[in-house]
Structure 1
Amino acid sequence: MSKYLIRPHHMLCMQFFEGKGYSDGFVASMAAIKEKLEKEDPQVEIVEGTDDVCKNCPHNMSGACENEDSVRQHDKRVYDKVIETVGNSAKWSSITKAIRENIIDSGKMRETCGKCQWSDICFKN
């Protein structure tokens, strides 16, 4: 079983991902990672900076996000709401449960997502 490196805001994005993204390569990679996470329920390490999802992102500039300042703010808002529940490493199912309980079901999506360009997808679901 694989171990995945995921930055905090991607843990939330995965809950609503529906095949849209920055590029075809990014979308294909995100879909494959989401499928493996849901099928295998692997251990996930919550990381700062670029992660397994970022590998195929057109904003990944040699291992650094060109929008890092903005992305770190998204990460912090998610991290602050789930870290006490799961720690820095947990099974994907535990992370999904913590995100549902502490962000989605508790009505904290808007404050957590901020001005994310993809939030329309999440809010319609």
Structure 2
Amino acid sequence: MSDTPPLRFRPHHFLCALGFQGKGYSDDFTANMRAIVMGRLRTPEGRETRIKLTGYADDICAPCPKRQGRLCTNQQSISQLDRSHAAALKLQPHEELTWGEALQRIKQNVPPGALSTVCSGCQWLEYGLCEDALKRLHDSDEG
């Protein structure tokens, strides 16, 4: 097992990481998200990356211009997204799992077309990036 500490993710960031295509809230946010997603999760050994669930600002949120300490300027909306994603992915508070296990959960529990419900209220939903990524996951041998 690696000595690298696990990534800290809010529940909705599992699907955000799946759908990430290089866009974000700011240059710093996008660079950080790219480092996490492209530099860790989508590498050959990325499926073994450990992730620990948190209910507060996480490693993806760190440079977000909407972050206010451990919370978000849109906390009510973010909390709703987190509840919806935690329920859909059957995530438990403080649970730890690998990215590979997260992909399996996404594939088993979030069918194509479900993001309009699971991600209701997300400003990124309209771009279709996450839905495209979800379809690719379901069409692949991953998960």
User: TM-score by structure 1 length?
Assistant: 0.88
Unaligned residue ranges in structure 1 (runs of 5+):
none
Equivalent-residue separation in structure 2 for 1:53 and 1:60 (angstroms): 10
- Count of matched residue pairs: 123
Unaligned residue ranges in structure 2 (runs of 5+):
134-143
What is the Cα-based RMSD across aligned positions, in Å?
A: 1.9
User: TM-score by structure 2 length?
Assistant: 0.78
Judging changes above 3 Å, is the alpha-carbon distance between structure 1 residues 59 and 78 closer, same or farther for their aligned structure 2 residues? same
SS of 2:88's equivalent in the other structure is helix
Q: Is contact 1:102–1:108 with CA below 8 Å preserved after alignment?
A: no
Other-structure match for 1:7 = 10
Equivalent-residue separation in structure 2 for 1:15 and 1:92 (angstroms): 10
Q: Does 1:22 align with 2:29?
A: no
Deviation at 1:64, TM superposition (A): 1.9
Judging changes above 3 Å, is the alpha-carbon distance between structure 1 residues 95 and 29 closer, same or farther for their aligned structure 2 residues? same
Other-structure match for 2:83 = 76
Deviation at 1:116, TM superposition (A): 1.0
Deviation at 1:76, TM superposition (A): 0.7
Deviation at 1:49, TM superposition (A): 1.1
Q: Does 1:93 align with 2:97?
A: no
Normalized per residue, the structure richer in helix is 1
SS of 2:18's equivalent in the other structure is coil
Judging changes above 3 Å, is the alpha-carbon distance between structure 1 residues 94 and 64 closer, same or farther for their aligned structure 2 residues? same
